[in-house]
Structure 1
């Protein structure tokens, strides 16, 4: 299966600037555009942040082909039903191009504690695991009658998504812990990285892929050239030490580029990405 290429950026750039940039990236041949989903990027540096789903809606209205979504949304700090409405709305706006990346949210102190919410990762994991089946049904537009420890839902949110059965759900996994890998195996894709080294080497990625399911949901609607075939996505950063062809051979389905380091300016990132993906 051919490797697709996406760009992932912090949700701290001015929305109008990002819309223009996304249009240019589509013209340069990229397949996807994804935003981080932080409430605050770095309080110490007093960096601006904007809502990623509002930004993606604007980008969707000005693009035709790009897959659009978050990498990743911390579901435990969201109301699953509100998140479902945002994803479904984006999916309708774009004719079936939405993707939902999910995770726990880090660092807990700035994503949760700063707002008086619990910071325990085990609690966040429990909320995420309970929320995902609820999100699944809500995104499909199916009735939900759920009585759980963290969520109580009795609703049918219409319409369902354009994509059938729903937009793909990609799950972040921080290695060497295995909980994220097991969680991702129940859904449509994995966004793995190492706690110690960041992006996985092709060898480490191949070992991980060997653990993953060789199946996925059949997403029968959406853009016919993009995501209408069964697949389980393995979404990994592009890195200098890991050429795209080696990542593809290791089992990656998406290669993601963006700021390579903290000191790289947006102008430097922009110039590099506008040269196009490494096909």
Structure 2
């Protein structure tokens, strides 16, 4: 059975963590399975207000008891690995083990977030940073002493506690359909999110590619995002296991999101 999550940009009317926490509580009451948020520093006009995902997700964690929560997706290269390790573990403990960590390269073309903040704009370098950071995170979550001396990061004999509630935090890797490198990265972890899908055939291709890498899809999630009211059945038949609501940020209105949430997930 496909699981369904609310997925919202934290923009303008949804830039208030209390508003989003109440929305998540409504989603839980309406029977949704998850609640995920965008991770952006800013966005294109006419968007003006933008909230921090981690503080917002902390409010969501306190307001809910059952929903799977997380950022979708965090551009990992613009964050320090050890700080991210503390943030993810603390949020996982606060939510009693309900965090899923969505990760990706991000993209400067959407809002100039890398070039306008002095962060790395080369996709290849950010991919190296992402892979190193994931090594540090998974090592740190293990509770063992972390010794990492990589091309981009250093962690010198540090043990991180507390550990995640379930021993580790699931990681979903994002990438554009047809790009094999993100699929290979995601296949090492717990799920793959092909962004900007246009057809169920792309899901089937991603399923085949992940299967070729892993040998099995047991315990692995194939995550998609679709506009509300889209018929999800062809995507489920193609192998999708999670469907996120895809709201257009340019037309985002709190009242519209509330209507979708109250109507409950498609079944």
TM-score by length of 2: 0.91
Structure 1 counterpart of 2:79: 78
Q: 1:31 and 1:133, CA in 2 relative to 1: closer, same or farther beyond 3 A?
A: same
Q: How much is the aligned-residue C-alpha RMSD, in angstroms? A: 1.9
Deviation for aligned residue 1:239: 4.1
Give the SS at the match of 1:161. coil
Deviation for aligned residue 1:26: 0.5
Deviations 1:138-192 (A, max 9, x none): 122221101100001121111110013x010000011232211111111111010
Structure 1 counterpart of 2:8: 9
Contact 2:21-2:63 within 8 A present in 1 as well:
yes
Q: 1:87 and 1:261, CA in 2 relative to 1: closer, same or farther beyond 3 A?
A: closer
Structure 1 counterpart of 2:113: 111
Give the SS at the match of 2:62. helix
Tell me if 1:56 matches 2:42.
no
Q: 1:243 and 1:232, CA in 2 relative to 1: closer, same or farther beyond 3 A?
A: same
- Distance, in Å, in 1 between the alignment partners of 2:206 and 2:24 is 31
Structure 1 counterpart of 2:233: 245
Contact 2:227-2:247 within 8 A present in 1 as well:
no
TM-score by length of 1: 0.87
- Distance, in Å, in 2 between the alignment partners of 1:116 and 1:139 is 29
Contact 1:201-1:241 within 8 A present in 2 as well:
no
- Distance, in Å, in 2 between the alignment partners of 1:270 and 1:258 is 14
Structure 2 unaligned residues grouped into runs of 5+: none
Contact 1:258-1:269 within 8 A present in 2 as well:
no
Task: Report matched runs for 1:1-279 at 5 Å.
Answer: 2-12=1-11, 13=14, 14-42=16-44, 44-45=45-46, 47-107=48-108, 110-154=112-156, 155-164=158-167, 166-193=168-195, 198-212=196-210, 213-215=214-216, 231-239=219-227, 243-260=231-248, 262-279=250-267
Contact 1:201-1:242 within 8 A present in 2 as well:
no
Deviation for aligned residue 1:45: 2.9
**Structure number with higher relative contact order (C-alpha < 8 Å, ≥ 6 residues apart):** 2
Number of residue pairs matched? Answer: 259
